[in-house]
Structure 1
Amino acid sequence: MTSAVFGQMDAFAIAAYIAGRREDSSWNSHDVRIATPDGDPVRGYGGHLIEPHCALSSAGDSDVVLIPPIFNDIEQTLAQERGLVAWLTSFPANSTLLASTCTGAFLLAEAGVLDGRRVTTNPAFSALFEQRYPAVRLALDERLVDDHMVICAGATTAYLNLAIHVIDRLAGHDLAVSTAKALSIDRHPESQRPYFMFIAPRDHGDEKILQLQNWIEVHHQKPIGLEEMTDAAAMSVRNLNRRFLSATGLSPQQYLRRVRIETAKRLLEGRAIAVDRVAEQVGYRDTRAFIRAFGAVAGLSPGEYRRRFRALPNISSP
């Protein structure tokens, strides 16, 4: 992700500029470098060229290493980047501050750096992460997790939150706050749960469960209980629960709730519909129950979610 590389470089340059204007020496000793495996330019996601300062072999003296997000097939990238993984493994424990943004956490995990630690990453890839690294404890609600000498930031633009946090660790709170203000970002990032997108798993190979997923998505606005779902699937309750959980990672009731709340998000982002009407349109007859369910999934009330993500009104040209 090219913007993560240059965005963090810009954040550190702004910190250096502010420190220089204040005659503050707290940032003077920091030399920020981009390193690639062999020191040659690489193309980031979108085809943009990234010119490095050095090769990994010349960056072994680093006090801090920041890993940007992977914007490619993750498992294919991990297989291709064995050299980078080996380089990360070469740092003695607790000698270097290692940090990642988003799916960059996969590279730290592949190097064994995250074993036994609390970390965060992009929630869209949490199932793959948990499958590959069962010794790592995911805290997906958190946008940034600092575990002493390992820091993980959440999805995509959390790279700026990570940059500000690193500035705080290296040069102090005052410079971090000033840099955050210059970048117009919050010093203490909120939960990343409001940004979760529910993408239903469909490549599990269980055709009957896939049919029930489709049925739920068509009928979710109606009153649906477990009995209706077992009838639609022509399965016993026990068999349905077992197969649905195995295929999707969710119970049928959890899946229904996620479908309803994701539909409610789209409605709240669009037209100015009253919350009780939104609740009704996604299958909730009790508005209070809808608000509780929405908050549990999205981390915000429906009204707060609307204020954050609503469409801007059309502005007519003069």
Structure 2
Amino acid sequence: MHRVAVLALGPVVGFDLTIAPLVLGSARDAAGAPLYDVVVCSPDGAPVPTSSGYAVLPQADASALAGADTVVVPGTRSAGARERGVLGPAEAAALALVRPGTRVVSICTGAFVLAAAGLLDGRPATTHWDHAAAFRRLYPAVRLQEDRLYVDDGDVLTSAGLAAGLDLCLHVVRRDHGSAVANRVARQCVVAPARPGGQSQFIERHLPAGGDAGTGPTRAWALEHLAEPLTLADLAAHAATSVRTFTRRFRAETGASPAQWLAQQRVERARHLLETTALSVEDVAAACGLGGAAGLRHHLAGVVGLAPTAYRRAFRRTADGTGDGTGDGTGDGTGDGTGDGTAPAALPAGAAR
């Protein structure tokens, strides 16, 4: 049983604190047996205040860290790490119990704690975008990448704010036990199964308007016709409005032009098909309206920095983590079908905006 200790440092971010117990605690093997033993601890075992007006009672004190295979530090408003760049005595004593070689994970502003402990010096890491400036000021030795959802640097992994912790913990499950297990956990938690770490954080962008108002019905219609060569005139005609009016409303509701939005949706559909089907790259491209394999390679590389077959090998894992070896021979230089099972590191930034 892989032992996970979640270290709650007050005032802990309550949402962050629940992520690892929920996601890792939901992971089961094919027989239904749990794959992780998750315990929440505090430096002294006492209740920990949260930033949301309530306290949590941990199961253990810091001694749980000494026997952990993975240590998770959720977001915190601890003044030492967040404001002065140092750990408090109890925090430092607790982290000193972590064995060398233990995998260490932070969620959101938990990265401040890892940085204050010197665990991130010289390494890539991320945290909540809104705290990036403070982080850079306090910890200049860290290679901060605030445009990432999460960064996997082997034995040290960090996530961006709040819900990005879900993505990171699902990535941990996928890295440890393969996509089949991670997808079951995602379904159980009713969250998206995979957002790559290189996807940009959504910083100060408006949510698209939904429902039956505005351009919502046309966007829904477009999603059902992505394989077709949709034009701006087609979209405006469906919305029964002029091209100029449609474009203005569309940008106001989504924060993107119709062309940008269509390209993003086509890439998202392609990623889904690459992850969940054995369709060739050519067929995936056709199903998403991206023309051929060359068009898909161009668009996918711009979003996640990977060619289609490399993306498929990285995100379609077998239960034993060896990769499914579905090289499709499309000639992009990555389809050798070796399936070497190496976990992908943080992907380049550049998600469609």
The count of corresponding residues between Structure 1 and Structure 2 is 219
Q: Which runs of 5+ in 1 are unaligned?
A: 198-261, 282-286, 302-318
| 1:103-158 deviation per Cα after TM superposition (whole angstroms, max 9, x unaligned) | 11000000010111111110111111111111111222221111010001111112
Counterpart of 1:117?
123
Question: What's the CA shift for 1:96?
Answer: 0.3
Tell me the distance in 2 between the aligned counterparts of 1:12 and 1:280. 39
Counterpart of 1:277?
248
SS of 1:152's partner is strand
Counterpart of 1:219?
none
Counterpart of 1:127?
133
Structure 1 segment 22-41 matched on structure 2, within 5 A: 22-23=30-31, 27=35, 30-41=36-47
SS of 2:38's partner is coil
Change (3 A) 1:84 1:170: farther
More helix, by proportion: 1
Counterpart of 1:201?
none
What TM-score, normalized to structure 1? 0.58
Change (3 A) 1:171 1:192: closer
Counterpart of 1:140?
146
Tell me the distance in 1 between the aligned counterparts of 2:23 and 2:246. 40
Are residues 1:83 and 2:54 paired?
A: no
Counterpart of 2:157?
151
Change (3 A) 1:87 1:78: farther
Q: Which amino acid aligns with 1:75?
A: R
Counterpart of 2:20?
8
Are residues 1:100 and 2:152 paired?
A: no
SS of 1:34's partner is strand
Q: Identify the match of residue 48 of structure 1 among 29, 47, 54.
A: 54
Structure 1 segment 283-294 matched on structure 2, within 5 A: none
Aligned identity (percent) is 27
Change (3 A) 1:45 1:101: same
Question: What's the CA shift for 1:278?
Answer: 6.9
Task: Provide the aligned C-alpha RMSD in A.
Answer: 3.6
Q: Which runs of 5+ in 2 are unaligned?
A: 1-12, 216-244, 262-301, 304-348
SS of 1:99's partner is strand
Bigger Rg, structure 1 or 2: 1
Q: Which amino acid aligns with 1:300?
A: A
Counterpart of 2:330?
none
